């Protein structure tokens, strides 16, 4: 079988992290199976349409390196086109496609015209709710005669509803197993709205069929829609795709992710300083853990290991501490060039033509959780912050001791060549030799030296600082400390 999957987002202007979750599972599955990953835009609900939203979605997918095989394409000059032979892939360009299918159902008596006004439906729902019934269309218009329907159609707005038959439907969800729904619980869903636009349910079934979609991997919130869609497929005589409803993403308090855009957009995670690889690893393993003893997976590994039968049924909690931990792992692994490229946009005030800045990156990467951390962590290397001389004094020593040791270290470092600074073990050896020869404690020397170099009580080790700052800047900072102690 030629596996074909799709994501069918409505363009909202940003990529909800839940959409990214769905995208990743579809993408992993398609790539693993050698199938096609398709993007179809569901924009028939004109109220939800946002200008530029499609462009933004496609841009984000490109940034994330998740290429699709068919669907809308954003060209370099900003124009939109399409690729694939099942188009158009934007539902608002497919409006003529749906009507004949509805005609077909009307002819077979599997759909009917409904003239009920919004007010009547509202009253009906209120009455049903008051009687503790699940709100459902009461088939008020089903009994209308053909002539009456034809006559009223000329003057009144109307919708077309599906006539859900009696019985029950079972489908085998690839994540949740077999699910049976009694038709008595299924509403006579509107298929065609009064403006002639198809509803989501009609469009999704027709498009999935015409686009030869084999598997529908989507969020759990669509599970209640599935019976309607399976019944529609049966009415048309089509085989349903395989459904796999993937878990919802939850906040730390186990509630559904809040809708506030700032908290849920994939783009925001990138601008907060998370790497693309981190985001794919983190979101791609929410509700799916390929191996219980492992957390770090590349995109290629996730493609290889993806397994629908290992997807959890319960909601997946987004643990931001874990995301930070994971990003920390990825940042620490970046090579010099990649790290520089990743950090640069987040630290525009840092002068990377200065070799000190590039060396400082190498040291600070083992401490960073987000790319946004570097602007602050690199600053003291490029200009020592003002500090009070008392912090130069180790807690078990006094100012005299700090001064004497700094003077001696200054002499040793002045005598050492530039090459000693280029090798962290060499410079460390020189300092340690001084400590042992003079039978000192580490703190007598390393504390004042570290503070002299960093201007702070907490920092990288003195050896790392010497390596980053180099001979000239290190001596300058020691000199400055000695002046403060004088």
Binding site for ligand GLU (CB under 6 A): 8-10, 42, 204, 218, 222
Rg (CA), the chain: 32
Task: State which residue, 10 or 251, has the beta carbon closest to ligand GLU.
Answer: 10
HSE-CB of 478 using CA atoms within 13 angstroms: 29
Q: What is the closest distance, in whole angstroms, from the C-beta atom of residue 146 to ligand GLU in the complex?
A: 34
Task: State which residue, 135 or 224, has the beta carbon closest to ligand GLU.
Answer: 224
Q: What is the closest distance, in whole angstroms, from the C-beta atom of residue 221 to ligand GLU in the complex?
A: 8
Q: What is the closest distance, in whole angstroms, from the C-beta atom of residue 21 to ligand GLU in the complex?
A: 11
Task: State which residue, 222 or 325, has the beta carbon closest to ligand GLU.
Answer: 222
Sequence-distant (≥ 6) Cβ neighbours of residue 244 within 8 angstroms: 25, 173, 174, 175, 215, 216, 217, 218, 308, 311
Q: What is the closest distance, in whole angstroms, from the C-beta atom of residue 306 to ligand GLU in the complex?
A: 18
User: Buried (b) or exposed (e) across 260-283, using 16+ Cβ within 10 A?
Assistant: eeeebbbbebbeebbbbbbbbbbb
Task: State which residue, 42 or 473, has the beta carbon closest to ligand GLU.
Answer: 42
Task: State which residue, 5 or 468, has the beta carbon closest to ligand GLU.
Answer: 5
Compute the distance between CA of residue 99 and CA of residue 103 in angstroms, rounded to an integer: 6
Compute the distance between CA of residue 205 and CA of residue 43 in angstroms, rounded to an integer: 15
Compute the distance between CA of residue 254 and CA of residue 225 in angstroms, rounded to an integer: 24
CA 104 vs CA 67, 110, 154, 162, 237: distances in Å: 37, 9, 21, 11, 12
The catalytically annotated residue of 47, 146, 259, 395 is 259
Q: Is 344 a catalytic residue?
A: no
Count of C-beta atoms within a 10 Å radius of residue 302? 21
Q: What is the closest distance, in whole angstroms, from the C-beta atom of residue 42 to ligand GLU in the complex?
A: 4
Q: What is the closest distance, in whole angstroms, from the C-beta atom of residue 190 to ligand GLU in the complex?
A: 16
Contact yes or no for 174/33 (Cβ under 8 A): no
Task: State which residue, 16 or 299, has the beta carbon closest to ligand GLU.
Answer: 16
Task: State which residue, 229 or 285, has the beta carbon closest to ligand GLU.
Answer: 229
If you count them, how many residues does the chain have? 486
Q: What is the closest distance, in whole angstroms, from the C-beta atom of residue 209 to ligand GLU in the complex?
A: 13
Which of 46, 28, 36 shows the shortest CA–CA distance to 4? 36
Q: What is the closest distance, in whole angstroms, from the C-beta atom of residue 234 to ligand GLU in the complex?
A: 17
**Residue 34 tokens, joined:** 């050698």
Task: State which residue, 9 or 455, has the beta carbon closest to ligand GLU.
Answer: 9
Task: State which residue, 11 or 284, has the beta carbon closest to ligand GLU.
Answer: 11
Compute the distance between CA of residue 247 and CA of residue 4 in angstroms, rounded to an integer: 21
Q: What is the closest distance, in whole angstroms, from the C-beta atom of residue 357 to ligand GLU in the complex?
A: 44
Annotated catalytic residues are 259
């Amino acid at each position: 079988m030629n596996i074909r999957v799709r994501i069918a987002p409505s363009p909202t202007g940003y990529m909800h992290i839940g959409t990214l979750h769905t995208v990743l599972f579809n993408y992993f599955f398609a790539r693993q199976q050698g199938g096609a990953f398709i993007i179809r835009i569901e924009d028939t609900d004109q109220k939800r349409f946002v200008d530029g939203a499609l462009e933004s979605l496609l841009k984000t997918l490109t940034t994330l390196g998740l290429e699709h095989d068919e669907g809308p394409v954003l060209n370099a000059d900003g124009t939109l086109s399409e690729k694939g032979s099942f188009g158009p892939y934007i539902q608002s360009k497919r409006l003529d496609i749906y009507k004949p299918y509805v005609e077909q159902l009307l002819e077979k008596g599997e759909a009917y015209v409904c003239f009920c006004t919004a007010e009547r439906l509202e009253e009906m729902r209120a009455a049903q709710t008051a009687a503790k019934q699940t709100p459902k269309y009461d088939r008020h218009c089903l009994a209308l005669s053909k002539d009456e329907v034809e006559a009223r159609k000329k003057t009144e707005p109307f919708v077309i509803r599906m006539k859900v038959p009696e019985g029950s439907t079972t489908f085998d969800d690839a994540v949740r197993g077999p699910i049976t729904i009694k038709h008595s619980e299924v509403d006579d869903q509107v298929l065609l709205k009064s403006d002639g636009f198809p509803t989501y349910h009609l469009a999704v079934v027709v498009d999935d069929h015409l686009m030869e979609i084999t598997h529908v991997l989507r969020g759990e919130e669509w599970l209640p829609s599935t019976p309607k869609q399976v019944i529609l497929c049966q009415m048309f005589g089509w085989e349903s795709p395989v459904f796999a409803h993937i878990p919802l993403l939850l906040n730390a308090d186990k509630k559904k992710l809040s809708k506030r855009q700032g908290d849920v957009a994939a783009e925001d995670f990138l601008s907060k300083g998370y790497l693309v690889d981190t985001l794919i690893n983190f979101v791609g393993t929410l509700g799916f853990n390929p191996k219980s003893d492992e957390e770090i997976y590349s995109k290629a590994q996730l493609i290889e290991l993806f397994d629908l039968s290992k997807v959890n049924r319960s909601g997946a909690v987004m643990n931001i501490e874990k995301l930070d931990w994971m990003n920390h792992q990825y940042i620490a692994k970046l090579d010099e060039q990649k790290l520089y490229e990743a950090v640069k946009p987040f630290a525009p005030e840092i002068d990377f033509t200065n070799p000190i800045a590039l060396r400082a990156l190498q040291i600070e990467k083992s401490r960073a959780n987000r790319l946004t951390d570097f602007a602050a962590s690199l600053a003291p290397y490029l200009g020592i912050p003002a500090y009070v001389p008392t912090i130069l004094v180790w807690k078990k020593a006094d100012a005299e001791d700090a001064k004497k040791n700094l003077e001696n270290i200054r002499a040793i470092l002045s005598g050492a060549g530039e090459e000693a600074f280029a090798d962290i073990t060499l410079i460390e050896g020189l300092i340690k030799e001084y400590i042992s020869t003079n039978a000192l404690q580490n703190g007598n020397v390393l504390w004042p030296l570290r503070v002299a170099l960093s201007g702070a009580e907490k920092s990288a080790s003195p050896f790392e600082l010497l390596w980053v700052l180099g001979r000239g800047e290190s001596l300058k900072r020691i000199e400055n400390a000695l002046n403060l102690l004088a």
